[in-house]
Amino acid sequence: MSRLIVVSNRVAPIQEGKPSAGGLAIGVLDALKETGGVWFGWSGEIVGEAGAPVVEKGGKVTYATVGLTRRDYDQYYRGFSNATLWPTFHYRNDLSRFDREEYAGYMRVNANLATKLKTFLKPDDIIWVHDYHMLPFAQELRKLGVANPIGFFLHIPFPVPEMMRTVPPHEELIAAMCQYDVVGFQTDADKQSFIDYVERTGRGHFNDDDGMLQAFGRMLKVGAYPIGIYPDAIAKAAEQFANRKQVKSLRDSMRGRKLIMSVDRLDYSKGLVERFQAFERLLLNAPGWHGRVSLVQIAPPTRSDVQTYQRIRQNLEGEAGRINGRFAQLDWTPIQYLNRKYERNLLMALFRLSQVGYVTPLRDGMNLVAKEYVASQDPADPGALVLSQFAGAADQLPGALVVNPFDLSQMSEALERALSMPLAERQARHADMMVPLRENNLSVWRDSFLSDLRSVATATSVTEKTVKTVRQGATEAKRPAAKA
Ligand code: GDG
């Protein structure tokens, strides 16, 4: 059987139990643990000189990691990936900047990583590349003559064409993405934005019947593959951790108060400031809740060396302090803002303890926290979920109270409704949400993507001969005859 090679910017820490606060790492690791395979990417270390990959084994997974030099890290990771692509893809082009040198660094690192991966590859490997750091990775592998099937999954939103066009090398990036055999998105809306870009710029045509896009001289499958979780494993963990010291002490400190829980990486896309302000509005409009409800926000810092992340942190500390200063009483703090990472199972137990999950990103590819919140609940007495319409998860969680995170009044009304929701309604909504969570779990996400990748790679090797498309220079990868 062919090996699965997963490629992502950052390879999750190998030690089990070491908290990793990122959706990609959590999703990919859980998906890979079952099937086994190789996970290739950055070790997270800055090195003097980038050397050969370090290979380690952890269970069924082989980890092959490389260091990045300071210059690579600054240009590729901190620069083009996180100061250009991340904000723009989250519709914050006001926070995005473009620097040619950083872009050159982004392309260079993709090329270097491709060269390093090539030394590992066997002819029947299947390669699955993840996220915005690696848009041109397949193109670089093709230049090296790699003919294996290569798929790409974007964990974050894909913006509408007008937004995409604000990234100066937009066309080069899209052309590079078309070197993959399958390009997958979290939602139909993201998939449509990608197709719209290609069709409106006259660079290709999408066939709705078979999901194939003919563009930039290539045939590729474009699909929506919403990432999932393992809801029953999460429910079990939440129950098992309910008696942990930290959970008990939070429960005791609540003294009958209701608890609203939020957990996010500290990121401006997560809508934390608006969320605090909507909670403030609840306290203003409904003074009956004073002393009877607290918001616990866990927000482990990430990318703290990117300037916009330093600003959001300052903003949020300011807002939490201001709101607490305005409403706190000697025995009640309205917002507990915790700027650190917690153990994953502990988070699930905290979700289970709370009455409301408050998940209101301004934009989010999927948002695993929303799904984890639902899965963690006690079906006999579940909490209610307030969820942003701009999280991919809103398409899949029919029992959530869906809000527009830019409408503070609507959010505060939804909070009040969630806090006062009768038991029977909470149970019905929870049951409604557990069905799609089970049906589209993490294995389904992985297996449907990989099954498309296998079949498209087989089909295109035939189709390409019949469709007279112009293949461009270095991208003329020679494909082997049909593969199983
Ligand atoms: C990207 C996309 C997409 C959070 N704090 C801690 C902690 N976490 C865990 C959560 C959750 C994960 O990190 C965060 O995942 P999200 O999906 O909510 O968000 P991103 O990190 O932005 O993920 C996103 C995802 O990729 C997957 O495709 O859904 O849209 O942006 O699992 O529980 N885990 C631990 N300690 C913490 O303090 N252990």
pLDDT at 58: 85
d(CA 294, CA 105): 45
The answer on pLDDT for 326 being more than 80 is yes
Same domain, 186 and 50: yes
d(CA 152, CA 218): 15
pLDDT at 448: 95
Determine the distance separating the centroid of ligand 1 and the alpha carbon of 380, expressed in angstroms: 27
Q: Name the residue among 192, 227, 210 with its Cα closest to residue 449.
A: 227
Same domain, 356 and 457: no
Q: Say if residues 194 and 185 touch (Cβ distance below 8 Å).
A: yes
pLDDT at 465: 38
Determine the distance separating the centroid of ligand 1 and the alpha carbon of 125, expressed in angstroms: 29
d(CA 329, CA 287): 13
Question: Would 357 be classed as within a structural domain?
Answer: yes
DSSP string over 147-177: -S-EEEE--S----HHHHTTSTTHHHHHHHH
| Residue position matching structure tokens 């993201």 | 190
Same domain, 238 and 170: no
The helix/strand/coil state of 37 is strand
The answer on pLDDT for 261 being more than 70 is yes
Same domain, 264 and 156: no
pLDDT digits (tens, 9 = 90+) for 389-415: 999 999 999 999 999 999 999 999 999
Q: What is the mean pLDDT of residues 438-444?
A: 95
Strands 212-215 and 218-224: antiparallel
Same domain, 188 and 306: no
Question: Would 477 be classed as within a structural domain?
Answer: no
Question: What domain range includes position 305?
Answer: 231-439
Same domain, 237 and 372: yes
d(CA 168, CA 100): 9
Same domain, 282 and 339: yes
Determine whether the shortest distance from the Cβ of 250 to ligand 1 is under 6 A: no
Active site residues: 155, 364
Question: Would 394 be classed as within a structural domain?
Answer: yes
Token output for 403? 């809000």
Which secondary-structure segment (H or E) carries 43? strand 37-46
Phi then psi dihedrals of residue 410, to 5 deg? -60, -40
Same domain, 14 and 28: yes
Best mutation site among 85, 133, 153, 265 for ligand 1 pocket (most ligand atoms within 8 Å of CB)? 265
Determine the distance separating the centroid of ligand 1 and the alpha carbon of 264, expressed in angstroms: 7
Question: Would 476 be classed as within a structural domain?
Answer: no
| Residue position matching structure tokens 């929870």 | 430
Q: Say if residues 151 and 184 touch (Cβ distance below 8 Å).
A: yes
CATH of the domain at 368: 3.40.50.2000
Query: What's the domain count of the chain?
Result: 2
Same domain, 82 and 168: yes
The answer on pLDDT for 30 being more than 90 is no
Same domain, 24 and 164: yes
The answer on pLDDT for 15 being more than 60 is no
Q: Mean pLDDT for the chain?
A: 91
Amino acid making up residue 64: A
Question: Would 186 be classed as within a structural domain?
Answer: yes
Question: Would 480 be classed as within a structural domain?
Answer: no
Taking CA 149 as the corner, what is the angle to CA 480 and CA 392, rounded to the nearest 5 degrees? 160
Collect all residues with Cβ–Cβ distance below 8 Å to 46 and sequence separation of at least 6: 67, 68, 69, 70, 73
Same domain, 50 and 183: yes
Phi then psi dihedrals of residue 149, to 5 deg? -65, 135
Same domain, 208 and 332: no
